[in-house]
Amino acid sequence: MGYKHDYDKTLTRLISILSQLNSGDALSVSELAMEFNVSTRTIQRDFNERLISFPIERVGKRWKMQEGFRLEKSTSIEDRVVLDIMEGLISGTDGTFATKAKNLLSKLKNEEHNPIYTKLNIEDISDKLKEIQQLESAIKSQTKISCEYALKSKIPCRLCPKKIANYEGFWYLLAIDEKDNILKKYYLKNISKVKQLNETFKTDKALDKKLDNALSIWFDAKKEPFEVILSLDKQIAKYFERKPISPTQTTHEIQDDGSIQIAIKITHEMEVIPLVKYWIPYMRVVEPTWIRDKIEEDLRRYLS
């Protein structure tokens, strides 16, 4: 049975349960287990985990919609379930982004006409929800996994998974390859047959800090971070004061004309070169000079 088929069955079951509850029915776990040909444990998990954000409650041995609540007719129940799954994925992340994302999802679920518009150019990984759940579990419990990784052919791997990361809209698994004990980046859509093993691994705080500070998929965990000083024209300085490039960003110098110099730490030049090229002529590298020279050489080649 394929993972996508399993996901579709789960989604269909949740939508049906919500529809019945929304119609005023009081539902029994054992009856639902028989209806959908699953275990009572699966139905209990539906109520206690998958549908926990909905206004439902247990009364005796049955589940029902809380008094006075009803899902809006203008809101598709399927959309609500998908939003809850998204919320479940976000709950695997930490920090300010996760908090804000949860608040936005809450608004989307509870407002008929939501005034917020977002344009997120993020790769669709809805066909990988099963793998993501397994990877999240392994990362949280620091458990090793086995999987297959597709390049020209499928390669069996044993990994210590560290993070699921999104760089430039694409999803990756950052994991240590048990074979050579090196941190590598795995394109998430190429990962299949994920299985948690009965083996744990220890965290590496220094490595975790490097991952937290990485600016792009180009980061090199084997190298020590080095400092880059960037000059920002006054026309763009405010954007990088509002939203720093990196957690390591500090103000290096403020000029009389309103421009500023900032310092960041990177492990690979390609973490910063595409950014500088994007903001030309309003951003330039002050130090190290070898990165500035490389950008200038690229521009000369382009103009020729």
Per-residue pLDDT tens digits for 27-36: 999 999 999 9
Tell me the domain boundaries of the chain: 1-71, 126-203, 226-303
Confidence tier at 74 by pLDDT (50, 70, 90)? very low
pLDDT digits (tens, 9 = 90+) for 144-155: 999 999 988 889
What is the architecture, at CATH level 2, of domain 126-203? Roll (2.30)
Q: Do domains 126-203 and 226-303 have the same CATH topology?
A: no
Q: CATH fold of 1-71, please?
A: Arc Repressor Mutant, subunit A (1.10.10)
Amino acid at 167: Y
Confidence tier at 241 by pLDDT (50, 70, 90)? confident
Q: What is the CATH number of domain 226-303?
A: 3.30.70
For tokens 């000369």, the residue is 300
Q: For the chain, give the mean pLDDT.
A: 82
Write the burial class of residue 81 (CB in 10 Å: 0-12 exposed, 13-18 middle, 19+ buried): buried
Between CA 152 and CA 281 the distance in angstroms is 41
Between CA 1 and CA 109 the distance in angstroms is 32
Confidence tier at 102 by pLDDT (50, 70, 90)? low
